[in-house]
Amino acid sequence: MTIGEMRHRITIQRVIISTNENGYEVETPEVIKEVWAKVSNLHGKEYFEAKAVQAENTVKFTIRYISGFDQSMQILFQGKTYNITAIDNIKYRNEYIEIQAKEVDSNG
């Protein structure tokens, strides 16, 4: 992978659940880090596997390795939020992480 392929800016965030003054739980996104990423749609075998479980809005992000990265985090990209479905530390070299994430339905 060349560094020029990582030309999209994404925000990695974690959802913090807190209680407001009325006693209701409120979800607040907390920014963990902003990073450069390669962003691509699924294709070939990956696309058809995702389509089989109605995951049409699945996107693949490739970023430089970040320690402590897990599936409880979310990705914000071009105004859309993505829930992480799979994380792959490519060849266990701690250089790049490939993330599959599904777009959160804005209708709820």
Q: Per-residue pLDDT tens for 51-90?
A: 555 546 889 999 999 999 999 999 999 999 999 999 999 9
Under DSSP, the state recorded for 51 is H
Nearest-angstrom CA–CA distance, 36 and 29: 19
List, in sequence order, the alpha helices (H) in the chain. Answer: 44-52
In a domain, 108, yes or no: no
Q: Where in the sequence is the domain holding 10, given as residue range(s)?
A: 3-103
Tokens of 12: 């990695």
Q: What global pTM score does this model have?
A: 0.80
In a domain, 97, yes or no: yes
Regarding predicted confidence, which is higher, 57 or 39?
Answer: 39
Angle at 49 between CA 48 and CA 50, to 5 degrees: 90
Q: What is the pLDDT of residue 1?
A: 73
In a domain, 78, yes or no: yes
Q: What is the pLDDT of residue 2?
A: 76
Q: How many domains does the chain have?
A: 1
Q: What is the pLDDT of residue 82?
A: 95
Q: Say which residue the tokens 């109605």 belong to.
A: 54
Q: What is the CATH number of the domain that holds 86?
A: 2.40.10.270
Q: What is the pLDDT of residue 43?
A: 60
Beta strands in the chain (DSSP E): 8-19, 25-41, 58-64, 73-77, 80-89, 96-103
